[in-house]
Structure 1
Amino acid sequence: MAILSAQPPNDTDPWYTKPWSEYNLGERVASLDLGNDPKLAQPKTGPAPYHSTLRQNAHVLPWTLLPITLQYISMHIFGYKWPVGLAFTIYALNILAFGLRTVKYLRELGQVYGYLDSVNVERDRVVNERVGPLAVSLILTLAIRPMLAVILAYDKHEMPRITWTLPLDMAFYMITLDAFYYMMHRAWHQVAWMWKIHRTHHTVKHPTSLMAPLADHIQETWDILLAPLLTYSIRPLPFHHLYICMVYVIYVELAGHSGLRAWFPHPILGVVLRPFGMDLVIEDHDLHHRLGKKAGNFGKQTRIWDRLGGTVSQRLETTPEAVGLKVKQKSAETPGVKGG
């Protein structure tokens, strides 16, 4: 039985029809992913609007700088060095608040932009019995990443600082992490026994941001622990650079599952990769969910590895031409999957 669906079971009222005051903790987390006014969530037509990288960074960047600034003030003004436990607590709470706020933020944008594949006005919703587990999974996913950063790179004696290498570090981290994601994600789909592990994530065709962590435990371990560990092992980053990278990675993953009908370029890499047809937008991963087992678009931060591996799927609603961008698309794009 599917654990998520567009329609709730008939033998019980869906959780989201209850008054907010009756929600349990899991339902309150999940309610961040509900639209504010169903009348506004109508299918949108015409060119997809452009949501700029400037607006995206205006949302993300303050969250990356807040705990770093607090730590700097603590050390520089008061001479207090955060012990490991305190550092983890503050950085984890910050990234948790950021993740939950971003889920709500993306749903609010959905009221304005509408959603891809708009014959389905509402995105898929979590069925009653899965609300709690999915909310817990989202919280753990958000908490484990800063814990990993603290374990790998935190030094309480190091003054918080951001250097000129940050853009290069971010590009390296995201592209390398995406290479590991791509290789394993492609294997999830193309190796029969591995698909049995990954298909949990594909129980939805029209996901929302809340459903980004939906996965089997094996896949979760790879996504939030092993792939970041491998990336860090190739080139260790300073703690504060690593933390900023993790915040942006989380944002792109949540946005990639939002289904927003808008041109949403990657906030860091989009402008660099667009001329090569290797940039990622929201529609890329949305198509991946709709196409299921035979999908392409295995990357979650870029299309570099999809382009090189011949697994790019053609965009339908947010092509450069549709949003007024003069970018020549590579002829290799097809509605299905190219290559092995």
Structure 2
Amino acid sequence: MSATETMTASRPNTDAASSTTAPSKPAIKPHLMTSTWHLQDPSTWNFWQRMLVRLDLLQQPKDAPKAPIRVGEKVPYYPAWRQHAWIFPRAAAPLVIHYAYMRLTGWTLHPVAAFFFYVISFKLFAVASVRKFNRMALRYGYFDGMAPRDGVPDTQSRKVVLSLLGTISIRPLFALCVAYDRHALPSLSWYFPLQLFLYACILDFFFYWYHRATHEVSWAWRYHKKHHMTKHPNPLLSAFADEEQEWGDILIIPFLTWLCMPVDFSTWWMCTTYILWVEALGHGGVRMYWPTTTTGSILRPLGMDLCLEDHDNHHRHGWKRSGNYGKQTRLWDTLFGTKLPRDECREDNIDWSYQAY
């Protein structure tokens, strides 16, 4: 019997019903993170949902092959140099275009034009990154693979998209206000790798204490608990949070970092592009030893490197029961005793001969 027939059969006969009718049970409200809209008829999708589908950003779209579940297998290894080979040319491309424009025309790029140019560049980089994470997941599977990954919630698609757009738009606006010199040619120092490392560590210091406070201080948790409604996140949920947390992530922490380490706009752009890559990566859940590009290579000999599994583990814990508060390193988690053990990315469970592509 079909679901429709079952419902019809169970419906009371109004002709034979008595005058006294039993009270109906209250409807069960769907969980805030329920995601079924992408399985419905496309004509029912709203504007934000159509945007996500057209940009091919969904982690588990309708009719897509299911990610493999790999229980008991060693995890593959994604070398940092492969990540740099993918990230660096895409991050540097806007600077090269900006440089060529100034050299060939002799004109400067007005701050308003620079804002739109770099925001569009951020969006293109973000779309390419999310698509890459999703492809990798379909090939290599997810951590805690027996549990389904959370999708974009049915009732929160607008919130998810606007949060991502805010992250991508407000940070360049801030940098243009404090660091942009329209007369300076875009350039990078030869010691940019060191700048990237220091910038990420400083930013992570502020984020660590802010993030830890939202888990351990009662009144602060209410500003973070929406973000933790996802226990198995996807990259599109990396900015999904209450507005107060969004402003902390998007503006306050980057501003404190810049005050400690003022850099020119070109260096800021490259550092922030790498940092956003790591932030989205941490919510991808792809099952492999995937170290962060900002600090992992330097901190790995000290056991303070951050890999993708670390933030995935963090999301499975809630108020006062968590750890792995850093999002670029495990430096501060190690020093202050909040580092969580890894379940699958243990040294003895990494297949170093199996390099991911």
After TM superposition, the score normalised by the length of structure 1 is 0.89
Of 174, 194, 202, 1:168 maps to 194
| In structure 2, C-alpha distance between the alignment counterparts of 1:70 and 1:259, rounded to whole Å | 34
Of 26, 43, 56, 2:48 maps to 26
Deviates more, 1:81-90 or 1:144-153: 144-153
State percent identity of aligned pairs.
36
Give per-residue Cα distances to partners, 1:194-237, cap 9 Å, x unaligned. Answer: 11111111001000000000111111111110000001011200
After TM superposition, the score normalised by the length of structure 2 is 0.85
Cα distance, 1:202–1:123 mapped onto 2, change above 3 Å:
same
Of 78, 86, 105, 1:51 maps to 78
Of 243, 251, 269, 1:225 maps to 251
Of 324, 332, 336, 1:297 maps to 324
Give per-residue Cα distances to partners, 1:255-307, cap 9 Å, x unaligned. Answer: 00001101101113211101111000011000000122211000000000000
Q: Secondary structure at the match of 1:49?
A: strand
Task: Look up the match of 2:293.
Answer: 267
Q: Match for 1:310: what amino acid? A: G
| In structure 1, C-alpha distance between the alignment counterparts of 2:161 and 2:136, rounded to whole Å | 21
Task: Look up the match of 1:258.
Answer: 284
Cα distance, 1:219–1:2 mapped onto 2, change above 3 Å:
farther
Q: Find out whether 1:82 has 2:104 as its counterpart.
A: no
Q: Secondary structure at the match of 1:129?
A: coil
- State the shift of 1:29 in Å: 4.1
| In structure 2, C-alpha distance between the alignment counterparts of 1:172 and 1:28, rounded to whole Å | 40
Q: Match for 2:345: what amino acid? A: T
List gaps (5 residues or longer) in structure 2: 1-28, 353-357
Cα distance, 1:282–1:29 mapped onto 2, change above 3 Å:
farther
Deviates more, 1:205-214 or 1:167-176: 167-176
Q: Is the 8 A contact 1:63 1:94 kept in 2?
A: no
| In structure 2, C-alpha distance between the alignment counterparts of 1:281 and 1:67, rounded to whole Å | 28
Q: Is the 8 A contact 2:200 2:294 kept in 1?
A: no
Q: Find out whether 1:208 has 2:234 as its counterpart.
A: yes
Q: Match for 1:35: what amino acid? A: Q
Q: Find out whether 1:181 has 2:207 as its counterpart.
A: yes
Task: Look up the match of 2:124.
Answer: 97
| In structure 1, C-alpha distance between the alignment counterparts of 2:30 and 2:281, rounded to whole Å | 23
| In structure 2, C-alpha distance between the alignment counterparts of 1:20 and 1:264, rounded to whole Å | 35
Of 150, 154, 164, 1:128 maps to 154
Task: Look up the match of 1:282.
Answer: 308
Deviates more, 1:300-309 or 1:14-23: 14-23
Of 59, 64, 77, 2:91 maps to 64
Task: Look up the match of 1:238.
Answer: 264
Q: Find out whether 1:159 has 2:179 as its counterpart.
A: no
Deviates more, 1:158-167 or 1:86-95: 158-167
Task: Look up the match of 1:106.
Answer: 133
Cα distance, 1:194–1:145 mapped onto 2, change above 3 Å:
same
Aligned CA-pair RMSD = 1.9
The number of aligned residues is: 319
Give per-residue Cα distances to partners, 1:106-137, cap 9 Å, x unaligned. Answer: 111100110000111x3112222101111111
Q: Is the 8 A contact 2:294 2:328 kept in 1?
A: no
Task: Look up the match of 1:118.
Answer: 145
Task: Look up the match of 2:38.
Answer: 16
Task: Look up the match of 1:318.
Answer: 345
| In structure 2, C-alpha distance between the alignment counterparts of 1:250 and 1:197, rounded to whole Å | 21
| In structure 2, C-alpha distance between the alignment counterparts of 1:65 and 1:179, rounded to whole Å | 26
- Larger fraction in helix: 1
Q: Secondary structure at the match of 1:142?
A: helix
Q: Is the 8 A contact 1:4 1:124 kept in 2?
A: no
